[in-house]
Amino acid sequence: MLQPGGWVYDLETLAGAFATPTDGGKARRLFLLELIEAFHRAGLREVECVYRFRDRAIVRGCKQRSDST
Q: What's the CATH number for 1-17+28-69?
A: 3.30.1070
* Structural domain boundaries in the chain: 1-17+28-69
Start-to-end Cα distance in the chain = 20
| Confidence at residue 36, expressed as pLDDT on a 0 to 100 scale | 94
Position 60: which residue type? R
- Please give the pLDDT value at position 45: 95
- Find out whether 12 and 35 touch, Cβ atoms under 8 Å: yes
Give the type of residue at 56: R
**Distance separating alpha carbons of residues 69 and 20, to the nearest angstrom:** 37
Residue-wise pLDDT tens digits, 5-50: 999 999 999 987 677 766 566 667 888 999 999 999 999 999 999 9
